[in-house]
Amino acid sequence: MHPFDKALELEPSGDDRWRGHTIPEWANMVGPFGGITAATIVRAIELHPQCHGHPIALTVNYLAPISDGEFDIVTRAVKTNRSNQHWIVELSQDGDVKTTATAIFGLRRDTWADTEVAPPAAQRPEDIAPSIPPFGVVWFDNYDMRFVDGGMPEEGAASGSSTTTLWVRNNPPRAMDFAALASVSDIFYPRVFLRQGQFVPAGTVSITTYFHADDDQLAAQGDDFVLATARAQRFSRGYFDQTAHLWGRDATLLATSHQIVYFKG
């Protein structure tokens, strides 16, 4: 089984309830990688018999680190309309809530469409050497990352820009789906590392991902690289915000994300 799908294995444990288990392949500095938690929440909703459509928006709030071991997820469909469906989700361990989320699923229909933003200029991923995972963070091994700019900074090499652009795909390659897209939306190391040129305690507090891709666009994406770019807007009083765009190689905008990050230093 692919390590991504292994992490998303869930068993029903009652009405609206699922039981999962962390796996060491997705360990972060504290608890599992936040992206894999977001992906697990998407999968829990997708498995629910009342699921209506596909992800449109997902907000995940990280209340406390998830410990190694089993966890429980409760998914509740709050309201289902003709076009969309609203969910509230909680992930807990031994009754202690560690993560909350809200999600909107919906049915997409053919309408007028346009994309006002454009992907950044970037050489082909085949022309860029794969990055070396930093400081022993295990979950990095599950991705093939090839930095266009804004790679992991060397100690003391502060930058005047917080922008990072990279090509990324699952390692080993795996076809893109909505859960994988949710995970890649959180692929970026904290922007404060790049600006200050040093590693400081930091972690995502809340992330919202907007899914723009439909089934056909995800099928066309296959297991190819995604061009991911992110930048911060403001660093202030221990928090910064981050905006990210995820593009297919054919310049299709697959998803956008926004998050608020806590940091020290």
Q: Using one digit for the tens of pLDDT, what is the confidence trace for 66-112? A: 999 999 999 999 999 999 999 999 999 999 999 999 999 999 999 99
Q: How far is CA 227 from the centre of its chain?
A: 14
In percent, how much of the chain has pLDDT > 90? 94
Interval 105-140: pLDDT, tens: 999 999 999 999 999 999 999 999 999 876 678 999
DSSP structure class, residue 32: B
Q: What DSSP string describes 175-194? A: ---HHHHHHHTT-SPPHHHH
What pTM did the predictor assign?
A: 0.96
Helix then strand then coil, % of the chain, to nearest 5? 20, 40, 40
- Contact in structure between 250 and 226 (CB atoms under 8 Å): no
Which residues in 25-60 are b (16+ Cβ under 10 Å) and which e?
bbbbeebbbbbbbbbbbbbbbbebeebbebbbebbb
The count of residues in the chain is 265
- d(CA 101, CA 106) in angstroms, rounded, equals 17
What token pair was written down for 19? 């039981």
What is the model's pLDDT at position 135? 64
Parts of the chain with a pLDDT under 50:
none
What is the model's pLDDT at position 29? 84
What is the model's pLDDT at position 155? 83
What is the model's pLDDT at position 250? 95
Non-local (6+) Cβ contacts of 132 within 8 A are none
